[in-house]
Amino acid sequence: MTGFFSKESNSNPAAYSAGAPLKESEFEKIRRLVYDRAGISLGSHKKDLVRTRLQKRLRVLNLGSYGDYYDYVVNHDESGSELIHMLDAISTNKTDFFRENQHFEFLRNEALPKILELKNRRNDNRLRFWSAGCSTGEEPYTLSMVLHKALANTGGWDLKILATDISTRALERAVEGVYTEEQTAGIPGNIRSEVLTPVQRSPVKVYSIADKYRRVVSFRRLNLMDPQFPFKGLFDVIFCRNVMIYFDKPTQEALVNKFYRYLQPGGYLLIGHSESLAGATTSFKYVRPTVYLKT
């Protein structure tokens, strides 16, 4: 075998740059590991994606095969940091500002007025939102922009948005909160100058999220597969969009039922446009496609 850091491994760096083959048995092991640790189901059509995305990790660790890499993650990664690198490489972080805008319209026009009314009746001024699977931050920052606008002149609300993801790489970018022109294209023209601060970073112009909109957002690493979440209070709205597509049906159902426990009565769960809870056993009330209510 090509041992970790062995002479044999070191002797032929060209073998890595050319890319080691990913054997079926190695793919099986890696896919089982990703499923067990992150709930992500990798179909057989993802074999090439796994090979190319993990190629760099083999190179960084100077390993000659994916079998060695698997062995390293399972048996030699005491700190767990390589597992994080592996999940970073495997996860898909595609996102956008104002993505699936109908959710933000729904929030502004229908959900929020109902939530505020309930809160007023309960004499509770806390508004708690959770972007679960927030990727590089566009979703929670959009939420912050929409909520600030909707709550302007209503006064006195204690707004907090929790944004979590399993990917440390995505979270680092989210915390930085700096985006290119192209990445901010989804932000409507009439609010751009208020919500974005231009930053000159040669050779391109980039934009930083204005302080007011950052202040209410907290980013944390959290694996949605954890049996319990470390939250004290309940949320009014949970966004978990375009995350569950990577999970199989039993994993989705278990997660959705966990979300239910962390929502206030009268709170909403919003999922991605290609996702659905049809066929899942949950206590949620269907409101409209991709929108569910805890009654």
Ligand X SMILES: C[S@@+](CC[C@H](N)C(=O)[O-])C[C@H]1O[C@@H](n2cnc3c(N)ncnc32)[C@H](O)[C@@H]1O
Residues in the site for ligand X, rule: CB under 6 A?
A: 38-40, 91-95, 99, 133, 135, 139, 165-167, 170, 223-225, 241-243, 246, 272
The answer for residues whose C-beta is within 8 angstroms of residue 11's C-beta and 6 or more apart is none
Active site residue 32: no
Please check whether residue 64 is in contact with residue 5, taking contact to mean a CB–CB distance below 8 angstroms: no
Helix 81-90 to helix 24-38 angle (10° resolution) is: 100
Neighbour-count burial of 232, counting CB atoms closer than 10 A to its CB (0-12 exposed, 13-18 middle, 19+ buried): exposed
Give whichever of 65 and 142 is closer to ligand X, judged by the CB atom.
142
CB of 56 to ligand X, least distance (A): 17
Q: Tokens 């100077």 sit at which residue?
A: 62
Please check whether residue 173 is in contact with residue 129, taking contact to mean a CB–CB distance below 8 angstroms: no
Q: What is the largest CA-CA distance in the chain?
A: 72
**DSSP three-state, residue 258:** helix
Active site residue 165: yes
CB of 95 to ligand X, least distance (A): 3
CB of 226 to ligand X, least distance (A): 8
Q: Which of 68, 71, 88, 165 is catalytic?
A: 165
Give whichever of 90 and 216 is closer to ligand X, judged by the CB atom.
90
Give whichever of 11 and 168 is closer to ligand X, judged by the CB atom.
168
Please check whether residue 213 is in contact with residue 195, taking contact to mean a CB–CB distance below 8 angstroms: yes
CB of 155 to ligand X, least distance (A): 30
Q: Which of 53, 59, 173, 214 is catalytic?
A: 53
* First-last CA distance in the chain: 58
Give whichever of 22 and 90 is closer to ligand X, judged by the CB atom.
90
Please check whether residue 168 is in contact with residue 137, taking contact to mean a CB–CB distance below 8 angstroms: no
State the Cα–Cα distance between residues 3 and 14, nearest whole angstrom.
17
Give whichever of 94 and 232 is closer to ligand X, judged by the CB atom.
94
CB of 15 to ligand X, least distance (A): 30
* Residues with active-site annotation: 53, 165
